[in-house]
Amino acid sequence: MNKKKKWYQRIIPFLKEVRAEIKKVTWPSRKEIYSTTIVVILATIFFGFYLYFMDIIFSYVIKNIQSLFL
């Protein structure tokens, strides 16, 4: 009969497998991390301003459309 192991009996083999997989990972260099972080920050700022101004424009348009029908 194939008995299922309890969760605490599976932790150590699981952690060993995780450690083995982590060793296979190719980690980015410090320069790559820095450059991608800058890109993410700039993109976030750009899209934040873009959405802010689009919200202002659409609010203005909707308000003017509503004033035509009220």
**Would 41 be classed as within a structural domain?**
yes
pLDDT of amino acid 2: 58
- Residues 18, 20, 26, 28: what is their CA dihedral angle, to the nearest 10 degrees? 50
Condensed to tens digits (0 to 9), the pLDDT of residues 22-31 reads: 999 999 999 9
In this model, does residue 50 exceed pLDDT 60? yes
The domain tally of the chain equals 1
- Does residue 61 fall inside a structural domain? yes
Q: With pLDDT > 70 as the criterion, what percentage of the chain qualifies?
A: 96
Q: Is residue 65 part of a domain?
A: yes
**Structural tokens at position 16:** 């060993």
Residue 7 lies in a domain: no
Rounded distance, CA 36 to CA 43, Å?
10
Task: List Cβ neighbours of 36 (8 Å cut-off, separation of 6 or more).
Answer: 28
Q: Which residues constitute the domain of residue 40?
A: 27-70
